[in-house]
Amino acid sequence: MFRSLLIVVLTTVVPSAALANPRQEVKEGAFLDLVDGAGNTLVQGRGVEEVNAKATAQGLRLPALGYWSPEGHCFVKPAPGTCNGVFGPK
């Protein structure tokens, strides 16, 4: 009984801990690891709002696994340039 409960708790808690903070960019190395993840999809746009809109239009699940831009401006409004987001498998 305890083992079953432990498995249920771990399968629900661990994936949520792996999700990105939806209000901050991840480090470049961690983002590139997400890009290389099997079944993950890279979406680009001007700022996080456009990235999320494009992902939604493609039927991808929000929030993204991670956001990143070379200049660190995904969450700046108005967005001065390209932001990248990686979304998990559909």
Residue 70 domain-assigned? yes
Strand order in 66-68's β-sheet?
A: 41-46, 82-87, 66-68
Residue 11 domain-assigned? no
pLDDT at residue number 12: 43
Distances (CA, A) of 74 to 14, 45, 85: 26, 9, 9
The answer to whether residues 58 and 28 touch, using CB atoms and an 8 Å cutoff, is no
- pTM of structure: 0.75
pLDDT at residue number 48: 96
Residue 71 domain-assigned? yes
pLDDT at residue number 2: 46
Instruction: Return the number of other C-beta atoms located less than 10 Å from residue 30's C-beta.
Output: 14
Residue 40 domain-assigned? yes
Burial (0-12, 13-18, 19+ Cβ within 10 Å), 38: exposed
Residue 24 structural domain: 19-87
Residue 47 domain-assigned? yes
pLDDT at residue number 13: 38
As for how many domains the chain has, the answer is 1
Residue 2 domain-assigned? no
Give 10-residue mean pLDDT values along the chain (90 residues).
47 44 87 96 97 97 94 93 94
**Which amino acid would we find at residue 8?**
V
* Residue whose pair of structure tokens reads 């993950």 in the numeric block: 40
Residue 6 domain-assigned? no
pLDDT at residue number 37: 95
